[in-house]
Amino acid sequence: MKIFKLTIIVSLLLVVFSNLILASEIKLPPYQKSSLGNDLTLLVMENKKLPLVNFRLVLKAGSVYDPLGKEGLADLTATLIRKGTKTKSFEQISEEIEFVGGSLNSGASPDYAFISGEFLSKDVDLALNLLSDILLNSVFSQEEFEREKELTLAGLQEEKDDPSTIATKAFYQFLFEKNPYSHPVSGTETSLKNITREDVMNFYKKYFVPQYSILTLVGDFSSQSVKQKVENTLANWQKSNSSLDKVPAPTKYKGRKLLIVEKPDVTQTQIRIGNISVPRNNPDYFPVVVANTILGGGFSSRLVNEIRVNQGLTYGVSSRFNMFKETGAYLISTFTKNKTTRKTIDVALEEVKKFREKGVSPDELAGAKNYLKGLFPSRLQTPEALASQISDIEFYNLDSKYVDTYMQKIDAVTLDDIKRVANKYFDYQDVVFVVVTNPKETRKDLEGLGKIEMTKP
């Protein structure tokens, strides 16, 4: 009985706490922005809740800058940069970090490469010295280069056994075609084999430069003191004279086309439906996010209710907008038995059609707003989360008051806004389809959806 009473009390406290969060204003803690002598953008935020310091360096060196035929170069370079310097091996760097209980990571996304780390605040000097060492003195040894390539190739081989991963990667390549956003971040087996150590060195020299980079630090420190430390440790990181090629925004696909990825052993079909959509800094960001939550962005969404609950065609279905710097993608993802592939596609398209034509109810709108507002505070609770948030604000040229006004802008979305963005961005006639399936069981049913192309994983 005591446990039951305690459970009730805790539950009530959680409800009260959640309501307080929703009712209160969320304010991003103040931070300082400056530009160093090498044109590095520096963002510094004091946060003394935990004895930690988190740094995040974002470099305009994502997979969109991979040369044609050498996709995966950006990610390989970003990974290798922490695998040994002129004075320390990868093992020595790892041991030094482990000894103080820190962490260091690096990699790439379509838009950018990153190096991030978290250390106890007493080890801020060590953290910045490590960052400086790998930025200025990485050797990209032939041994580590070959090892990392083999690891990546092994990972790509494993992905061939995962129909969901195959479908999503194939969707972006099929959708973006020859645009740089079609580049798979990890590359392909063919492209990785084309990459040499010299390619990595040249990519590093061109793109890992301060004038196209943002360094964010959040933690238990004095802003003035840590800024001086950064200036001292990165003073020799020199900007280059090279300019970056502009990444072109792709054109939205008109009509329909279908890619069948042949996988004869599957009994279920992975389905992806979508089109090119909005970049991250689009003015319609808030209406789009709310609208997508109603259509397929939550557990009580329309797609879930119709495709999973009412018709029992799948255990999982969702829609989302992946927004990049220059473009974005609208995507519906689901899976079903091979024999119900066409029916599932048709039901999904019909739900989008009804969403556009009939709009949503006031209750649906209110529910979506509360769901999004309830999730948002968790994005600001740790130094790592804060560093990621303010780094994104700077990189994607978002409103500096993005966090402070988030709740109000979600609340400001109206039924008319939902109807407007639904008809503008949620396509069902102009769409690209990708299915990973056994074509012997599904191809006949898929005819008529659009021009069919075939490929293998």
Q: What is the mean pLDDT of each run of 10 residues along the chain (457 residues)?
A: 36 40 74 97 97 98 98 99 96 97 98 98 98 98 98 97 98 98 98 98 97 98 97 95 91 97 98 98 98 96 98 98 98 99 99 98 98 95 96 98 97 98 98 98 97 97
Contact (Cβ atoms closer than 8 angstroms) between residue 208 and residue 58: no
Which residue is associated with the tokens 């706490």?
Answer: 17
For the chain, the farthest-separated pair of C-alpha atoms sits apart, in whole angstroms, at 72
How far is Cα of residue 337 from the mean position of the Cα atoms in its chain?
A: 29
Q: Fold for domain 256-455?
A: Cytochrome Bc1 Complex; Chain A, domain 1 (3.30.830)
Which residue is associated with the tokens 């399936």?
Answer: 437
- How far is CA 259 from each of CA 222, 411, 452, rounded to the nearest angstrom? 55, 39, 6
Residue 195, Cβ neighbours under 10 Å: how many? 23
Q: What are phi and psi of 75, to 5 degrees?
A: -65, -40
Burial class (CB in 10 A: 0-12, 13-18, 19+), 33: middle
How far is Cα of residue 170 from the mean position of the Cα atoms in its chain?
A: 17
Closest alpha carbon to 296 in 317, 322, 316, 269:
317
d(CA 205, CA 212): 12
Beta bridge partners of 437: 262
d(CA 139, CA 88): 10
What pLDDT is attached to residue 24?
55
Which residue is associated with the tokens 């740089």?
Answer: 180
Structure tokens of 110? 């379509």
d(CA 354, CA 333): 18
CATH 3.30.830.10: which residues of the chain?
Answer: 32-233, 256-455
d(CA 272, CA 261): 11
Buried b (16+ CB within 10 A) or exposed e, 416-446: ebbbebbeebbbbeebbbbbbbbbebbbebb
pTM: 0.92
What pLDDT is attached to residue 86?
96
What CATH number has the domain spanning 32-233?
3.30.830.10
What pLDDT is attached to residue 10?
33
Contact (Cβ atoms closer than 8 angstroms) between residue 63 and residue 109: yes
Contact (Cβ atoms closer than 8 angstroms) between residue 314 and residue 392: no
How far is Cα of residue 366 from the mean position of the Cα atoms in its chain?
A: 27
Cβ-based neighbours of 111, under 8 Å, separated by 6 or more: 60, 62, 64, 324, 325, 395
d(CA 432, CA 259): 8
